[in-house]
Amino acid sequence: MRPRVIRKSPQNLRVPPHLADWKGERARFAWSDARKELTGAAQGDLNTGRLAVDRHLATAVRERVAFRFIGRNDARRDVTYAELARQTNRFANVLKRLGVGRGERLFILAGRVPELYTAAIGALKNGTVVAPLFSAFGPEPIRTRMAIGEGRVLLTSESLFRRKVAGILGQLPALEHILLIGDDGSRTDVPGTLDLATLMEQAADDFEAVPTSGEDMALLHFTSGTSGAPKAAVHVHAAAIAHYATSKYALDLHGQDMFWCTADPGWVTGTSYGIIAPLLHGVTSLVDEADFDAERWYRLLQEHRVSVWYTAPTAIRMLMKGGAELARKYRFPDLRLVASVGEPLNPEAVWWGIEVLGLPIHDNWWQTETGAIMIANTVAMDIKPGSMGKPLPGIDASLVRRCEGGGVERLDAAEAEGELALRVGWPSMFRGYLGQEDRYRKCFAGDYYLTGDLARRDAEGYYWFVGRADDLIKSAGHLIGPFEVENVLMEHPAVAEAGVIGKPDPLVGEVVKAFVSLKPGFGASDPLRMDLLGHARKRLGAAVAPKEIAFLATLPRTRSGKIMRRLLKARELGLPEGDTSTLEGPA
């Protein structure tokens, strides 16, 4: 039998850890000190772009590689901090020349190409808000998000533009400028758009970062709701303080590291830890443009001597599926920390890490709204496989039970189970859902931000993920709102009603499964199922579309008319149906 705890000892670590004494550091920690550590004595402006890049120009870090880009064809391009400073200045000047300024929104829809990284940092320097979109989104999720965020500029590639944006242009009234990245390095010449490479060539490479305050909006990250439209979580420049501190404590970043965050920058992890955090620490990041491939990943880890690796449970399970033999063809002597986030990490995956990579996987927890890692198994901490770890310094986590009337009761017993809540006050906490004040306010009770996740705390203060308190679906680490999927299914002429759930899946956590009832005159059939799957995939994109569709005569609804997804799920899984007293009729 495997032990319940993997013992760690700071003395045995190759690099002395930033967080050797969890208890002491938590007691000493103050966010104001973290700010000083990052920004120096200056307490005025706080511009993430300047802190990430320009700040290093006065030190030896300027000659260090900031990003090592690996193309799909394996071509390698190293960009130093000095070069990144020039490129991001050029992009800031491009925005300035277009008249795009502070607080206005740049949407980015692109693969992991160098232009995306340059644009994100350049825009931040210009005070322009960056709103990343996942390149596997279909036209509908792109349209909704750009409409909510009132995107004035869109940066995308020529092929993504043609496939996903051209058809919805008429529905994006705020959009004024479209900057295109040529496919395979070519120039673009598409009417109504601008060629990015040409604009960059014409722009000057010096720029003084706009003196944004910590409370200026920096990033918009979209996240899904169980009902209604997606939500645009507002993040501010002060979040950089949390990115800096958490990547110090949870990822243990040191200047000499080769860091690889495999998350796509279309999601919050890929931006916070794939772009901003490593730059704040002056480390080198590996960026691979290609999609997951087990052998490629092992090869990249070995060849580029990755020392700190931040990845996700689905990716780890896919590596596990590929078999240990494949991994044994490679060696990872430089690897010293492997961390993972986004969905529950099975204990077997933690042990697999030890067997195959020589290190356990360190699970950590956070979400779009928290802006940075909150709970983690840190490098010097004993690991309990299956647990998310303990709150980082500066993070005050509790478990609560919601009460009638909107308040919460805090569950103070050492061992408890309830909704995970965080005391407000850390710098990367979201500052609102753009244009949805009510939904934002509902996330708080008194001093606490309520996460919507259920968790358990054990006697030693480790937190264990129990489940979501709502109907949101986590598939391959991506949060999917059932409502968005239901809406698109309902557009189909055959569909009368649709209910969408997450169906447990051993590889990707959950797959999106839809239940539909049909309008009179339509009959359930395999060709109709294929047609519906195709429709959903075309509109929503592969990352969001359902993988399975089942036909039902009617869907269970509450008396107030809401589809009972919980019941659909219980029936799908053969679980007890729970309280069905609000169920309408004999569904």
Q: Which is nearer to ligand AMP, 192 or 467 (by Cβ)?
A: 467
Which letter, b or e, does each residue of 230-242 get, where b requires 16 or more Cβ atoms within 10 Å of its Cβ?
A: bbbbbbbbbbbbb
Q: Which is nearer to ligand AMP, 111 or 225 (by Cβ)?
A: 225
**Nearest distance from C-beta of residue 366 to ligand AMP, angstroms:** 6
Closest CA to 153 of 193, 113, 115, 121: 193
User: Is residue 535 a contact partner of residue 492, using CB atoms and an 8 Å limit?
Assistant: yes
Rounded CA separation 345/430 (Å): 25
* Dihedral class, residue 552 (left if φ above 0, else alpha if ψ from -120 to 50, else beta): beta
**Nearest distance from C-beta of residue 388 to ligand AMP, angstroms:** 5
**Nearest distance from C-beta of residue 278 to ligand AMP, angstroms:** 18
Q: Which is nearer to ligand AMP, 53 or 234 (by Cβ)?
A: 234
Q: Which is nearer to ligand AMP, 92 or 229 (by Cβ)?
A: 229
Rounded CA separation 267/117 (Å): 14
Q: Which is nearer to ligand AMP, 115 or 343 (by Cβ)?
A: 343
Q: Which is nearer to ligand AMP, 193 or 271 (by Cβ)?
A: 271
**Nearest distance from C-beta of residue 552 to ligand AMP, angstroms:** 27
Kind of pairing between the strands at 337-341 and 308-311? parallel
* Exposure of 330 in the CB half-sphere (CA atoms within 13 A): 23
What 8-state DSSP symbol labels residue 262?
-
Both tokens assigned to 245: 């501190």
Rounded CA separation 587/575 (Å): 17
**Nearest distance from C-beta of residue 223 to ligand AMP, angstroms:** 5
Q: Which is nearer to ligand AMP, 94 or 421 (by Cβ)?
A: 421
**37 Cβ neighbours under 8 A, 6+ residues apart:** 244, 245
**Nearest distance from C-beta of residue 477 to ligand AMP, angstroms:** 8
Q: Which is nearer to ligand AMP, 149 or 342 (by Cβ)?
A: 342
**103 Cβ neighbours under 8 A, 6+ residues apart:** 127, 128, 129, 216, 217
**Nearest distance from C-beta of residue 38 to ligand AMP, angstroms:** 23
Q: Three-class SS of residue 156? A: strand
Q: Which is nearer to ligand AMP, 55 or 243 (by Cβ)?
A: 243
Both tokens assigned to 224: 């899904």
Alpha carbon separation from 580 to 237, 498, 554 (Å, rounded): 46, 19, 16
**Nearest distance from C-beta of residue 403 to ligand AMP, angstroms:** 22
**Nearest distance from C-beta of residue 232 to ligand AMP, angstroms:** 13
Q: Which is nearer to ligand AMP, 151 or 342 (by Cβ)?
A: 342
**291 Cβ neighbours under 8 A, 6+ residues apart:** none
Judged by the rule CB under 6 A, the positions of this chain that interact with ligand AMP are 223, 268, 341-345, 363-365, 367-368, 388, 451, 453, 465, 468, 474, 479
The radius of gyration of the chain from alpha carbons, rounded to an integer in Å, stands at 24
Q: Which is nearer to ligand AMP, 150 or 453 (by Cβ)?
A: 453
Both tokens assigned to 87: 């490129």
**Nearest distance from C-beta of residue 137 to ligand AMP, angstroms:** 14
**49 Cβ neighbours under 8 A, 6+ residues apart:** 88, 92, 121, 122, 123, 124, 125, 126, 209
**Nearest distance from C-beta of residue 247 to ligand AMP, angstroms:** 16
